[in-house]
Amino acid sequence: MDLATPASYLITHMLGHGYDLAVALRRPHTAVRHRTALAVPFLMAAPGRAPLRAAAPSW
């Protein structure tokens, strides 16, 4: 895994919590194009690592 992917995960995580904080404080979210673009490496790598729902045990 290259350095951009875990760094991108941290940005994705912070943007997600930033949304929650913005809603709670009734303030605008800080997600702007140049910040959200930094989340792309993680978003491209993560779906390939997530388990398939069909392969998961049925509980």
Report the pLDDT value the prediction gives residue 40, as an integer from 0 to 100.
Answer: 86
Segment 12-41 shows an average pLDDT of 87
Report the pLDDT value the prediction gives residue 49, as an integer from 0 to 100.
Answer: 56
Segment 10-27 shows an average pLDDT of 90
Contacts 24+ apart (CB under 8 A), 38-43: 38/7, 38/8, 38/11, 39/8, 39/11, 39/12, 39/15, 40/8, 41/2, 41/4, 41/5, 41/7, 41/8, 42/5, 42/6, 42/8, 42/9, 42/11, 42/12, 43/8, 43/12
Can you give the residue ranges of every domain in the chain?
4-46
Q: What is the mean pLDDT of the chain?
A: 81
